[in-house]
Amino acid sequence: MLKPEQMSRLLIVASKDQMAPVVTELYRHNLFHIEDYVEAGAEGYEGFKIGSPLPGATEASGDLVKIRAIENAFSIRSEDFEVKQRRKQSGLQVLIEHELPAIEQEVEGLTVNRSKLETKLKEYEQKIAELTPFTGIPGDLDLYRGYSRLVVFAGYVEKEVSLSVPHEMFFSKGKGRHFTVVIAAVEQRSVVEGALQEAGYQAVPIPDESGVPQERISFYSSQITLIKKEIEDINQKLDAIKEKHADFLVACEEILKVQVDQTEAPLRFATTNETFVAEGWVPTNRVDAVSDSLTNVTGGKIFITVLPIDLEHDVVPVEYDNPSFAKPTQMLMDVYSRPKYAELDPTLILSIMFPLFFGLILGDVGYGLLLLGMCLVLRKYLKVDDGAQLLTVLRNASFSSILFGLLYSEFLGFELPWKPIMFSRHLKIGGGEAGGQGPAIPELMMLAIWIGILHITLGRILGMINHARQDHGDHRIKAVMANFGWLAVMWGLLIVIWTIAALPLMPDLTSLPKIFINLNAAAIVGAVLLVTGVILIARDSALEIVELPTIISHVLSYARIVAVGLSSVAIAMVVNFIAIGMLISPQLEHITVVGVLFIIMGVVVFLIGHALNMALGILGGGLHSIRLHYVEFFTKFYKGGGKKYSPFGYKRRFTED
Amino acid sequence: MVDVNMTLEMVQASQVGMKAIGAGIAVGLTGIGAGVAEMAIGSAAVGATAENKDVFGLVLLLTVIPETIVIFGLVVGLLLLF
């Protein structure tokens, strides 16, 4: 609890002929986090070389590339593929050799054909575009070329052209610009060109066609229809292949991926001519299982030992070790940063506090139930790991939302049939008809402040533990004391405030007898704490003194729990007031045709308003609760930056041995 | 501002109004301030995250630092009103 999974550093040495069975066994276990060997003259590794892949690596990775190419053509993704039935590896191996080339050839032939047709389609469309301007001009396309004494101009002009030389001109009006064809004698070329330039002439190439333009266009159009049909046919064929072979393909991909992973594993080992050395991490409680089975498969021709861990230099991979209800919250931890190996893992605290904060903010039975339903429904469709975890976190949060909704007595902004058990958040909106006694703002604020104080105190205590564990020598004591100093300053300040003013929900120390110039005993205790704290902080790092105001700002930051919550209550009540108070209930007294319209409008306002408010509430409730943890809580003790434990192996989904 | 013809009730009512306006200004202006401050940090943070996903936690911290301003505004607003 509060600690990552314990790891052991394992050293495996064996002769090279045992490499294949060892790799296969390690892969099967899916527990060994390989520490990659880098040829940099590491201590004790003089003369070692990086290993070379096992036989079959090239073929397997070649096949894998082919399969992935086919999958790409079909846009198949194994992640969103439903597992129907697991296939036997041995059978597939044969199929890969025999069927895969045929499928590949077929798919390749079809895709090549398709892209050829697509090019042709583009070409024809281009031709139609070229021909279109000439449809307005009478005459055959042959008539535009083949002259030695005449020159033909075709193009767009902005205005009508008048020429002083003998010529023939065709003109078709268009919007903004007009298409024109001018035929004149070769000697007059420059005159015609000049006149055309003046009219803003833009030349259009004359299509290399013969016949009437309109006919050519309809010919190409019919060709395009044919090609489109052919492409459609090819797509259908491809779909049929996809339908038939998709599960074969994902299974093949899996097998080949496994093969490639295994055959390329020696690239991460250190080897000599005859032996290999693999170093890596295994969860401590699984060390025996792994070494026993390795000894088994190699017939004892292997040397396995657990190396001592040097926490200062070794980067130990971190795997969470949490009770199952806290596991989804690991996703929120990874978003921030994975804990280091020696660090406290606050996932468990987060998994309890996050839903609590969420409920305090979005404490409404209606929204809670809706969110719960939404999570349960979406959970069915969402396969992505992170998304599913987030939904589980939100589902837990929705329970807390319902619970706090019962305490606050809120249902979509309405009051439940009882008075709020906790402090009321009912605002006086809509002339009192929407709620009773009005919100208990001062109490709620103080509650939030108290949560902040306790949360931060917990953070600082964890900070002391973390420093005591991770730091060494002189700095260790100083850092621990500095954390204590921060606590002392905060509580000292609090005590002083209590002696100055009487606040709701806080101890009232104003009436204690005064001892020393207007200060009572508590004030003196507070002041002493404050000064001691500042000194302790300064002893660790004098620069930290400028951070002192954050004590106040961080505690006050928890006021957002109330503020964000109240705003969502306010929106819910306003929506209710507009929808029911203003639109629906006045019409219900005597129903008319217009009245029915108003009622429908009211229902629409009600639905849209609450949908929006719920979206805002989930966003606000979720983001602000997680932010309070990331910013106010984690900064007190948590650094993170641990390396993820990613064991060598793979959990097969489509195949089995 | 003070009119001799004002009754005590009117004075009290206008005091309540002034308080509400004050609270509104406190929250509104600090909100704008926090927004302006977060604007630059936020865009830089998104850029940094695009380059390297690991810094997300850190840049989130940096982005929300100016939020304190609006929290102070909110506290002042609530103190004025209640």
List, in order, residues 6 or more apart from A86 with CB less than 8 Å away: A652, A653, A654, A655, A656
List, in order, residues 6 or more apart from A415 with CB less than 8 Å away: A409, A426, A434, A435, A436
Residues A20 and A24: their CA atoms lie apart, in Å, by 6
Position A41 confidence tier, pLDDT thresholds 50, 70, 90 = low
Tally the domains of chain B: 1
Q: What is the pLDDT of residue A6?
A: 92
Among A553, A554, A634, A638, which would you mutate to test the B interface (most chain B Cβ atoms within 10 Å of its Cβ)?
A553
Residues A558 and A618: their CA atoms lie apart, in Å, by 18
Cβ neighbours around A626 below 10 Å, total = 19
Q: What is the pLDDT of residue A73?
A: 78
Q: CB of A442 within 8 A of CB of B82?
A: yes
Are B71 and A441 an interchain contact pair (Cβ–Cβ within 8 Å)? no
Question: A–B: how many Cβ contacts below 8 A?
Answer: 42
* Residues of chain A contacting residue B61, judged by C-beta atoms under 8 Å apart: 630-631, 635
Position A393 confidence tier, pLDDT thresholds 50, 70, 90 = very high
Size of chain B in residues: 82
**Which tokens belong to A445?**
């604020």
- The one-letter code for the residue type at A75 is S
pLDDT tops 90 at residue A505: no
**Does any domain span residue B73?**
yes
* Residues of chain B contacting residue A336, judged by C-beta atoms under 8 Å apart: 56-57, 60
**Helices A521-540 and A473-500 sit at what angle, rounded to 10 degrees?**
150
Residue of B nearest to A629 (CA): B61
pLDDT tops 70 at residue B3: no
Q: For A284-306, what is the mean pLDDT?
A: 91
Q: Cβ-count burial of A432 within 10 angstroms (0-12 exposed, 13-18 middle, 19+ buried)?
A: exposed
**Interchain CB contact of B52 with A (< 8 Å):** no
Q: Provide the mean pLDDT of chain A.
A: 87
**Does any domain span residue B30?**
yes
Cα dihedral sign, A236-A239-A240-A241 = positive
Residues A557 and A635: their CA atoms lie apart, in Å, by 14
Are A559 and B68 an interchain contact pair (Cβ–Cβ within 8 Å)? no
Q: What is the DSSP pairing of strand A655-656 with strand A87-88?
A: parallel
Residues B58 and B45: their CA atoms lie apart, in Å, by 9
Q: What is the pLDDT of residue A150?
A: 87
Half-sphere exposure of B26 (CA within 13 A, CB side): 17
Residues A168 and A153: their CA atoms lie apart, in Å, by 11
Q: For B2-19, what is the mean pLDDT?
A: 83
* Domain spanning A131-219: CATH 3.40.50: no
**Does any domain span residue B47?**
yes
Structure confidence by residue, pLDDT tens digits, A166-186: 888 888 888 778 888 888 888
**Which tokens belong to B45?**
């943070």
Residues A553 and A550: their CA atoms lie apart, in Å, by 5
**For B60, which of A553, A556, A630 is closest by C-beta distance?**
A630
**Does any domain span residue B4?**
no
Q: CB of B70 within 8 A of CB of B33?
A: yes
Residue of A nearest to B62 (CA): A631
SS3 A364: coil
Mind spelling out the 3-state secondary structure of A512-577?
Answer: CCEEECCEEHHHHHHHHHHHHHHHHHHHHCHHHHHHCCHHHHHHHHCCHHHHHHHHHHHHHHHHHH
∠ Cα A527 A530 A533 (to 5°): 150
Beta bridge partners of A167: A184
Q: For A241-267, what is the mean pLDDT?
A: 86
Q: CB of B65 within 8 A of CB of A630?
A: no
Beta bridge partners of A150: A185
Q: For A126-149, what is the mean pLDDT?
A: 84
pLDDT tops 60 at residue A515: yes
Q: Where does A376-417 show beta strands of DSSP type E? A: 410-411, 414-415
Q: Which residue has the tokens 């989804």?
A: A328
Structure confidence by residue, pLDDT tens digits, A311-365: 878 889 999 999 999 999 998 898 888 999 988 999 999 999 999 999 999 999 9
* Residues of chain B contacting residue A630, judged by C-beta atoms under 8 Å apart: 57, 60-61
Nearest to A450 by CA among A556, A533, A563, A354: A556
Which of A75-89, A150-164, A538-552 holds the top average pLDDT?
A538-552
Q: Supply the DSSP string of A70-93, one letter for each residue.
A: HHHHHT--GGG-----PEEHHHHH
**For A557, which of B54, B71, B81 is closest by C-beta distance?**
B71
**Residue ranges per structural domain of chain A:** 131-219, 324-442+562-642, 444-557
Structure confidence by residue, pLDDT tens digits, A409-466: 899 988 888 888 888 888 777 655 444 567 788 888 899 999 999 999 999 999 999 9
Q: Give me the percent of chain A exceeding a pLDDT of 90.
A: 39
**For A559, which of B61, B64, B74 is closest by C-beta distance?**
B74
Q: Which domain holds residue B68?
A: 17-81
Nearest to A462 by CA among A335, A641, A644, A639: A639
Residues 58-77 of B with CB under 8 A from A: 60-61, 64, 67-68, 71-72, 74-75
Q: Where does A386-430 show beta strands of DSSP type E? A: 410-411, 414-415
More confident residue, A236 or A161: A236
Q: CB of A521 within 8 A of CB of A498?
A: no
Position A197 confidence tier, pLDDT thresholds 50, 70, 90 = confident
**Interchain CB contact of A522 with B (< 8 Å):** no
Q: What is the pLDDT of residue A435?
A: 47
Q: For B66-76, what is the mean pLDDT?
A: 82
Nearest to A220 by CA among A209, A204, A231, A230: A209
